[in-house]
Amino acid sequence: MSNYCHFYCIVSIKFIAILAASVAIPSTSAIAQECNSVSLWEQNSFSSLNFSERYIRHSSFLGYLSDPRLPNPNTKVEFEDATFDVLPGFSCRQNIPSVSIRSRNYPKRWMRHSFWRIRFDEYDQGAQPSDLFKKDASFEMVPGLAGQCVSFRSVNYPDRYIRHRNFELWLDVLENTDLFRRDATFCKQPPRAGYYRATDESSKPPDTPPTIPTISVSLPQSQTFLVQGSGFLPGKQVAIRIADDALNPNLFYYTTATANGSINMTLSIPCSPGRLYFSANDGRQNSSDRTGMLWSNTVTLSCQ
């Protein structure tokens, strides 16, 4: 190699390396940080507010509401299809936090809208999504239009929300009706796929009986409840479930167990006539429970 080529080849290689670094496509996390998106990573399922036995799921990669309860022979598939990773959004508008939702059992597929239908699609540009895909697959998880739980508002069409029609999921323009508000409201639940695995493996007894966590609930002031507990897995997310006598959809609140496995959370809950029933779990499974989850004791209080 001549001295001339040696010098200019080295310079050219360095220049190409610098240029490549300067045009590298940002990662999802980088996009999320620029977008000020929600900082979370959860696995959840979402039940319909007005059809609480039905959950958001994908089938043939289209969005539906489905009832995955036993003894449906396809329950295992439906439980997996109804479980999702909730991640920071690809895109947002005006720095409003957003989320993107990925299929658990098809992790290359993301919930998005296309021609107003909710679908679960792979990236449209190979290893990276296009700008349109990022916007179509980003939603603002806002307080539920029906006054509880959550609703999903489109980032690129903010006058449209995910709602169910004939148990199909669509992105529709907001209507000022109670029916629309209920159809567009979904309640975050623990992952249904975890329920099935517990049932599926119930024939395998645990090596040692699980330690059941315990909670206590006090009422320091009207409609304010202090939930304290111990025996949870340290550092794990704990779901606090609240049911009532009126058979309204269960409410779920989330906190994280401390290093010694305890929780301490204050909740403001609108009261309905009758009693409230509090219980909690940290994601551990229990094949003897019909939900497949290891729940704490249940605390009953009158709502005042």
Which of 164 and 128 is assigned the larger pLDDT? 164
CB neighbour list of residue 11: distance below 8 Å, 6 or more residues apart? none
Q: Which of 164, 192, 220 is the last residue of a domain?
A: 192
What mean pLDDT is reported for the chain? 78
Looking at residue 244, what is its pLDDT?
A: 79
Same domain, 42 and 73: yes
Same domain, 185 and 224: no
Residue 203 falls inside a structural domain:
no
Residue 109 falls inside a structural domain:
yes
Residue 182 falls inside a structural domain:
yes
Is residue 249 scored above 80 in pLDDT? no
Q: Which of 167, 192, 217 is the last residue of a domain?
A: 192
Is residue 17 scored above 50 in pLDDT? no
pLDDT digits (tens, 9 = 90+) for 137-178: 999 999 999 999 999 999 999 999 999 999 999 999 999 999
Same domain, 51 and 164: yes
Q: Which of 157, 192, 227 is the last residue of a domain?
A: 192
Same domain, 97 and 170: yes
Is residue 70 scored above 70 in pLDDT? no
Residue 18 falls inside a structural domain:
no
Same domain, 140 and 215: no
CATH at residue 71:
2.80.10.50
- Among 19-28, 238-247, 281-290, name the one with the lowest average pLDDT: 19-28
Same domain, 141 and 241: no
Residue 166: give the domain boundaries. 28-192
Is residue 184 scored above 90 in pLDDT? yes
User: Taking a C-beta distance cutoff of 8 angstroms, is the pair 261, 230 a contact?
Assistant: yes
The number of folded domains in the chain is 2
Same domain, 109 and 180: yes
Is residue 180 scored above 90 in pLDDT? yes
- Among 41-45, 207-211, 296-300, name the one with the lowest average pLDDT: 207-211
Residue 179 falls inside a structural domain:
yes
Is residue 47 scored above 50 in pLDDT? yes
Looking at residue 288, what is its pLDDT?
A: 67
| Percent of all residues in the chain with a pLDDT value above 70, rounded to a whole number | 75
- Angular region, 147: left φ>0, alpha ψ -120 to 50, beta rest: left
